[in-house]
Amino acid sequence: MIRDRETVEKKLRVMVEGGKEKLMVISDFDYTLSRYEDSLGKRCWTTHGVFDNCSKSVDPELALKLQKLKEKYFPVEFDPKLTLEQKVPYMEEWQVPVCFFLFHYLIVFP
């Protein structure tokens, strides 16, 4: 079930034509697949960490928006006094503007 099949096919063609050398997939949000720290003991970035840190060079306005959202929701995510059920609505609320900003500022198809 694809709402706009033509657009999806166009985007997929662009990715295929660009080649695997230009394709980057970021899929690990919480160290499930990636390492927590590198071989030197330095903490690695989560997926959101990649966007948080790299957005500064792409668009300072985006970096500021992401930082404000992180300041609001990050403490909730790791609050030991809250249950998972209490945290989930906040995490869902957090992801909506983050996804919007990332697509608006970073995800570009020719």
The residue annotated as part of the active site, out of 30, 52, 59, 79, is 30
- Alpha-carbon distance of 56 to 32, in angstroms, equals 25
Is 30 catalytic? The answer is yes
The residue annotated as part of the active site, out of 28, 38, 52, 79, is 28
**19-35 burial by CB neighbour count: b if 16+ within 10 A, else e?**
eeeeeeeeeeeeeeeee
Q: Could you tell me if 63 and 54 are in contact, meaning their C-beta atoms sit under 8 angstroms apart?
A: no
Q: Could you tell me if 38 and 17 are in contact, meaning their C-beta atoms sit under 8 angstroms apart?
A: no
Is 28 catalytic? The answer is yes
> Which residues are catalytic, by number?
28, 30
